[in-house]
Amino acid sequence: MRRCISGGFALMLTLTACTVSQGPRPEEVLKRVATAGQTLRSAHFSADGTVQFADGNTIAFSLLNGVLQDGGRKISMTASLLDTQQSLSSGSAMDIIMRSPCDIYRRPHSEGQEMISRWIKSSCSTADTQKAIIDPQFLGMQMDAITVVRDRGVVVEEGQALYHYDIALNQTKLQEYIQSLPGGEGAADDRVQAILKGNTVNGEVWINTSLYRVQRLAWNIAPKAGQKGTAVHFSVRFWDFDVAPDIPLPTDSIAPPLSDGNIDPLLHLFNTAGNGSAF
């Protein structure tokens, strides 16, 4: 009897050891994610988060019904903001379609009605559009520029097995990525310091164990103890990899009106977060 128990226990240890040794290390998983991101054609996504300013005012935002196509060069979503202290005249919401390098279509939702009947087309600088678009290669960059600080193992969510890691920014790798961008030479230190100076940055990532796609990503940026600043929390979720529907461009869009205050709160928040000045 004892021999059977000890033999069974030894077998259990052997199987456990084999299971652990067969799983890739977190560093290898992140490399595979960065490679897989370069071939992603389409996906659905949603995102939400909050921005808390130094004065205590908090804005909540969400991106719903998101679709990315052509490797992130075409995006559609419904974006909304809600000022929890009502310093904005009201919550802002609109449908948005972005096409790289420089086309933005938007359809603001108006009070008392679901939405206006026409799309408004705007132009912008190429750099501004690239900051706003959720680019799969940008997600790959994040995998290159992070360090796994804790491996939480494999979890199952909605029937999918996912690697779950606690992560932090790797300042050196982030600088290397920014320097590789057009116009990034000489600006890396300033951009990195804008994000990291006086703040702590940490997050979590969930990665599909078979596809090596990021299915969920969350970041927390908060002032260090004793310092004031803007705190940001956001999370984004992806699904339907390479099978998301096409994004038809509006055919009846109009030029933006001279007074176009509806978009200001939304674009100001996204642009501020995109260039790091909020941090």
CA distance 42 to 49: 23
CA distance 43 to 139: 13
- Residue 151 has which token pair? 């491996």
Residue 170 is part of which domain span? 24-275
Match 């949603």 to its residue by tokens. Answer: 46
CA distance 123 to 211: 36
CA distance 197 to 194: 6
Q: 92-136: per-residue pLDDT in tens?
A: 788 989 887 678 898 887 655 554 568 988 876 544 444 444 555
Identify the helix (H) or strand (E) that includes residue 25.
none
Domain contains 8: no
- What are the distances in angstroms from CA 135 to CA 76, 97, 175, 180? 13, 14, 18, 16
Confidence (pLDDT) at 125: 52
Domain contains 226: yes
Confidence (pLDDT) at 160: 93
Total of domains in the chain: 1
Domain contains 177: yes
The model's confidence at residue 275, banded by pLDDT at 50, 70 and 90, is very low
CA distance 81 to 63: 9
CA distance 38 to 57: 38
Domain contains 6: no
The CATH number that applies at residue 271 is 2.50.20.20
Closest CA to 26 of 169, 234, 212: 212
- Asked if the model's pLDDT at residue 90 lies above 80, the reply is no
- Asked if the model's pLDDT at residue 139 lies above 70, the reply is no
The model's confidence at residue 240, banded by pLDDT at 50, 70 and 90, is very high
Q: 163-204: per-residue pLDDT in tens?
A: 999 999 877 777 776 676 655 555 555 656 666 677 888 999
Confidence (pLDDT) at 3: 47
The model's confidence at residue 220, banded by pLDDT at 50, 70 and 90, is very high
The model's confidence at residue 9, banded by pLDDT at 50, 70 and 90, is very low
Domain contains 256: yes
Domain contains 15: no
Domain contains 12: no
Q: Of 6 and 29, which is predicted with more confidence?
A: 29
CA distance 28 to 236: 22
Region 224-230: mean pLDDT is: 85
**Cβ-proximal residues to 249 (8 Å cutoff; 6+ apart), any chain:** 97, 99, 103, 105
- Residue 196 has which token pair? 């990291």
Match 């702590």 to its residue by tokens. Answer: 200
Confidence (pLDDT) at 10: 40
The model's confidence at residue 14, banded by pLDDT at 50, 70 and 90, is very low
Domain contains 18: no
Determine contact, residues 206/152, Cβ cutoff 8 Å: no
The model's confidence at residue 230, banded by pLDDT at 50, 70 and 90, is confident
Sign of the four-CA dihedral 250, 253, 255, 258? negative
CA distance 257 to 45: 30
